């Protein structure tokens, strides 16, 4: 493994495993109620699915004007939410103003109405029924069911010290989610300050091992813990039991007790004998690192010498993920297939992804995972973790993948936090959501990045569509897109521009063009910006441009950028209004393309089949319900643009069970 300047002593054996017969006896005590509960839940679920099949899901009643959207929200008491757990990897909100009993915040004059706040809740993104949510945890596919666990505060809509694991299941399409009772709660000395992020490993015999980070209440020590399903044959995995001799891994010498978290899914070791490897994020000074542990039973672990990988200046690494992607089309492995975590060899590269605690962004690098040396080597040092590529260039963090062995796909989840006033969350009763689940594959055309695409099931979410072919719009034009239900759309668009115009332009602002520092959609060039105005009102007083800007890059060649511009996304103050985005590779012979999903207060954008993606949280006050509109726009100075588009309207699917027996009550 890669040596580092500070030596980390191997931790040869962390705990003594509990006798197997004792462990089995503990599980047996809980199996009977769990089996009964699961049977009742399955019966309830079957009834609910049948009801869904017979009943059309309706969107909230449409509001066609802003006249009745000003009912003030007057809270019963003064609310000042506590600061988020920055040391635990939760983003500190920029706008954390105190909301007073008048309905006003100390840092803003804006008064939200109930109509506006109700509209902000999404309809096809995953959210708990109420309260705070952050990282996705231990996603898996088990006996015909998708499972997502997530960081959840059962006590309110702000981050707190009782972070638990929420749990939901879906049997169809990563959309028809049903909320189950919480899976784990901080109730043991080793996790009293929170049951934090972790990962699931499916073993060859069908059993599951769930590793997670706990934090002690007294000294705030981050340790790694094990939990098992009480009944692994239960497809819903309703009940979980924590290992009686937790924690299974303590912070090793040389590692800060608060800098040791988020174990990964285990992969098989070349040593054989059921040996598996996991990695855990940490840091040494300002150098982000990932430690590697070896285990044969998930109850005792050996720390291997050195680190999997280290990048100076990147700070604390959390939510590390290491997984293979296919690079060749052979008999079994194709580009469209995902790969099991333990696959390696010819035709395989590895993705090392980390979440940076210092800036709250997710970075990744492509490279080679050397199982013999337990090291990761990036293909290009200039594109190493934290130096080159990000998974997303907007509001997106703590991503976690899992392998769907049924469909042979690797699926990516990620957390999208709030960017408005923290004090508004208790008024809504919830905070944060999960991004659309995406399949992730190697980009064979460029060879330098991955492709992230909404899962193919997303196409089944739509109710109706409208298509527009070969629409031409001149420089400086805005063209309405006449579609209904503009608050929840799935749009694919293709654009053609005349790149020969770059030969006659010498625009100085194009040199080193960057979305974040460009001035947004108002900065005009010969070939851009052009794209769509989404979540907009009729008068364009509120709008979110999602656009491509074609700049004159090196050697006079075109260089495209995908950007999202939030400055006019909301009339409200106390809301972050940024310009997100990055460059996106466009190869010879390719048209410029984008896919945009709008779901009330979230806009997700993908360019060139997912080479670059951007997510933004928007909080409009006017363009809500039936008042929302969409437009083409071309703000280039010279180029005309020809566009084709298809827009699907989507429905709401996430529901609670009609009846949920809670074995914990």
Residues designated catalytic: 135
Q: How far apart are CA 147 and CA 198, in angstroms?
A: 14
Find the largest Cα–Cα distance for the chain.
79
Q: Which of 358, 121, 149 is nearest to 240 (CA)?
A: 149
Of all helices (H) and strands (E), which one includes residue 30? helix 20-54
Give yes or no for a contact between 402 and 265, defined as CB atoms under 8 angstroms apart: yes
Q: Which of 189, 554, 561, 605 is nearest to 394 (CA)?
A: 605
Give yes or no for a contact between 91 and 359, defined as CB atoms under 8 angstroms apart: no
Burial of residue 467 (number of CB atoms within 10 Å: 0-12, 13-18, 19+): exposed
- C-alpha torsion 556→558→559→562, nearest 10: 150
Number of other CB atoms surrounding residue 61 within 10 Å? 7
Give yes or no for a contact between 464 and 488, defined as CB atoms under 8 angstroms apart: no
| Tokens (6 digits) for 647 | 């827009």
Interacting residues of 656 by C-beta distance below 8 A, sequence separation 6+: 129, 178, 179
Residue 102 DSSP one-character state? T
Q: Which of 400, 322, 431, 517 is nearest to 91 (CA)?
A: 431
Q: How far apart are CA 410 and CA 490, in angstroms?
A: 22
């Amino acid at each position: 493994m890669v040596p580092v300047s500070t030596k980390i002593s191997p931790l040869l054996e962390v705990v003594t495993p509990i006798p197997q017969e004792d462990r089995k006896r503990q599980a047996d005590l809980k199996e009977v109620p769990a089996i009964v509960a699961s049977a009742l839940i399955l019966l309830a679920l079957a009834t609910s699915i049948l009801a869904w099949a017979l009943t059309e899901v309706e969107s909230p009643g449409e509001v066609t004007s802003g006249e009745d959207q000003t009912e003030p929200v007057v809270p019963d008491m003064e609310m000042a939410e506590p600061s988020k757990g920055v040391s635990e990897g939760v983003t500190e909100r920029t706008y954390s103003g105190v909301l007073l009993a008048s309905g006003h915040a100390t840092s803003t004059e804006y008064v939200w109405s109930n109509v506006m706040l109700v509209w902000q809740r999404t309809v096809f993104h995953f959210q708990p029924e109420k309260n705070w949510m952050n990282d996705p945890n231990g996603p898996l596919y088990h006996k015909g069911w998708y499972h997502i666990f997530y960081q959840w505060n059962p006590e309110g809509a702000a981050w707190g010290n009782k972070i638990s694991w929420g749990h939901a299941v879906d049997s169809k399409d990563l959309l028809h989610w049903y909320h189950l009772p919480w899976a784990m709660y901080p109730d043991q000395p080793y996790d009293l300050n929170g049951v934090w992020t972790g990962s699931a490993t499916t073993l060859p015999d069908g059993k599951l091992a769930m590793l997670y980070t706990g934090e002690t209440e007294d000294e705030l020590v981050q340790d790694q813990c094990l939990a098992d399903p009480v009944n692994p044959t239960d497809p819903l995995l309703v009940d979980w039991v924590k290992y009686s001799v937790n924690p299974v891994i303590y912070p090793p010498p040389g590692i800060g007790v608060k800098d040791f978290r988020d174990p990964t899914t285990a992969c098989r070791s070349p040593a054989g004998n059921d040996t598996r490897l996991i990695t855990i994020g940490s840091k040494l000074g300002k150098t982000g690192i990932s430690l590697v542990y070896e285990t044969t039973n998930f109850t005792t672990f050996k720390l291997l010498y050195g680190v999997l990988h280290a990048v100076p200046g990147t700070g604390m690494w959390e939510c590390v993920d290491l997984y293979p992607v296919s690079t060749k089309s052979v008999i079994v492995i194709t580009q469209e297939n995902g790969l099991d975590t333990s696959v390696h060899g010819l035709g395989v590269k590895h993705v090392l992804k980390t979440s940076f605690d210092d800036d709250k962004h997710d970075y990744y690098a492509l490279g080679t995972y050397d199982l013999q040396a337990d090291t990761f080597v990036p293909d290009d040092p200039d594109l190493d973790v934290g130096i080159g590529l990000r998974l997303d260039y907007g509001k997106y963090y703590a991503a976690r993948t899992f392998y769907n062995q049924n469909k042979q796909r690797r699926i990516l989840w990620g957390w999208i936090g709030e960017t408005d006033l923290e004090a508004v969350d208790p008024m809504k009763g919830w905070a944060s959501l999960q991004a659309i689940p995406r399949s992730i594959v190697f980009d064979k055309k460029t060879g330098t990045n991955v492709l992230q695409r909404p899962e193919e099931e997303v196409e089944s979410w739509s109710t109706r569509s409208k298509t527009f072919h070969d629409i031409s719009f001149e420089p400086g034009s805005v063209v309405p897109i006449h579609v209904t239900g503009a608050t929840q759309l799935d749009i694919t668009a293709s654009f053609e521009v005349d790149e020969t115009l770059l030969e006659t332009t010498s625009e100085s602002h194009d040199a080193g063009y960057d979305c974040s520092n460009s001035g947004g959609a108002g900065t005009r060039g010969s070939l851009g910006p052009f794209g769509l105005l989404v979540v907009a009102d009729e008068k364009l007083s509120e709008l979110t441009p999602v656009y491509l800007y074609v700049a004159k890059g090196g050697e006079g060649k075109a260089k495209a950028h995908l950007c999202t511009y939030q400055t006019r996304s909301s009339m409200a103050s106390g809301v972050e209004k940024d310009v997100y985005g990055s460059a996106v590779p466009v190869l010879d012979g390719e048209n410029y393309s984008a896919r945009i999903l709008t779901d009330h207060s979230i806009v997700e954008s993908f360019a060139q089949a997912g080479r670059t993606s951007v997510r933004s949280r928007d909080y409009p006050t006017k363009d809500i319900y039936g008042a929302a509109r969409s437009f083409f726009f071309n703000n280039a100075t010279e180029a005309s643009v020809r566009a084709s588009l298809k827009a699907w309207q989507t429905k709401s699917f996430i529901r609670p069970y009609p009846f949920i027996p809670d074995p914990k009550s």
